[in-house]
């Protein structure tokens, strides 16, 4: 799926047109998906313009994959996203997250149980010497937490 789509630039916000190009989906489809997938909530600013964040672009790519590549229906894709959330919550309770180290699985903050914390996504090349990226990830989370106080 991702090999055919362009890489996501390092930006904080993306317009609906940019997201459409990054995900291979037309803007009217993105607006429809907002109605069908409650996890998709782009920021709306002046003139009701939508601005998507990195984690939402990743979620749209996941939804696109489920619908177009794997053949899920809208309700099936909605259920599959919910399963991913539940399995990740269970994994985090055990200290293991399915979402660690795989950008394609990052979900929206409201799906993670804390609406005020943005997900921290490490680019694929950012790994520590052991290859896990955990210590760097933990350090970045601590820095983010200090900045939000």
Catalogue all structural domains in the chain, each as residue range(s) with its CATH number: 2-118 (1.10.1660.10)
Side-chain-side CA neighbours of 66 within 13 Å: the count stands at 23
| Alpha-carbon radius of gyration of the chain | 16
Rounded Cα–Cα distance for residues 21 and 44 (Å): 19
pLDDT in tens, 81-114: 888 878 877 877 776 655 444 444 444 444 444 4
Does this model's pTM top 0.75? My answer is no
CB 25 within 8 A of CB 60: yes
Q: Is 48 left (phi over 0), alpha (psi -120 to 50) or beta?
A: left
Task: Supply 127's token pair.
Answer: 């790994």
Rounded Cα–Cα distance for residues 15 and 140 (Å): 27
pLDDT bucket at 78, cuts 50 / 70 / 90 = very high
């Amino acid at each position: 799926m991702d090999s055919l789509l362009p890489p996501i630039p390092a930006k904080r916000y993306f317009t609906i047109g940019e997201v459409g190009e990054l995900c291979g989906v037309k803007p009217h489809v993105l607006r429809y998906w907002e109605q069908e997938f409650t996890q998709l909530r782009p920021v709306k600013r002046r003139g009701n313009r939508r601005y998507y964040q990195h984690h939402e672009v990743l979620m749209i790519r996941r939804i696109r994959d489920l619908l177009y590549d794997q053949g899920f229906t809208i309700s099936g894709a909605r259920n599959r996203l919910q399963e991913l959330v539940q399995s990740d919550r269970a994994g985090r309770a055990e200290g293991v997250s399915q979402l660690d180290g795989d950008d394609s699985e990052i979900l929206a903050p409201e799906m993670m149980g804390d609406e005020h914390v943005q997900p921290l996504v490490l680019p694929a090349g950012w790994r520590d010497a052991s290859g896990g990226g955990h210590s760097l990830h933990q350090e970045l989370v601590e820095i983010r937490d200090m900045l939000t106080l």
